[in-house]
Amino acid sequence: MAKERGILLRVETGKTSPVLADENQIQQIVMNLLINALEASVSGSEITLKTHMTETGAEIVVEDSGCGMDSRQIASVTQPFYTTKTTGTGLGLAVSLRLAELNHAILDFDSKPGKGTRVSLRFNEKYNVDKDDRDEQSIGQEATAADY
């Protein structure tokens, strides 16, 4: 989709720690964020997907140089059925927010009109999986939020 639109997708993977989270739900959040970034971007622009550790835990960031949002829009983007698009349901970010909460994560938006948007999915470090814990679990079968 990015290539078809002439948008460069840059992936930067930094050192992170595995987290206890539902893999499918995290994938859904990232897909929603990438789709929104693609729809807000124009041909020739760039979207960055990066992972890294912060002082408080692992973080996934999706950043674009698209149309951006003002403070009113930022306050509304996670409300069900809110959309600025001519198509779509306005449920993607509302669902993403709920999935983040179920996985003990925070979804944070930083945006400026005409400058783009940066969305961070931050995991609380108390849900990081230590090396000793990984030896006891199958990393491909992380515990779901319902297990907490």
Class in CATH terms, 8-127: alpha beta
- pLDDT tens sequence across 39-49: 999 999 999 99
Q: What is the pLDDT of residue 3?
A: 83
- pTM for the model: 0.83
Sheet holding 105-112, edge to edge: 8-13, 46-54, 57-64, 116-123, 105-112
pLDDT profile of the chain (148 residues), mean per 10: 89 89 96 95 95 92 95 94 84 96 96 96 80 44 37
Distant-in-sequence, close-in-space partners of 21: CB < 8 Å, separation ≥ 6: 103, 104, 105, 123, 127, 142, 145
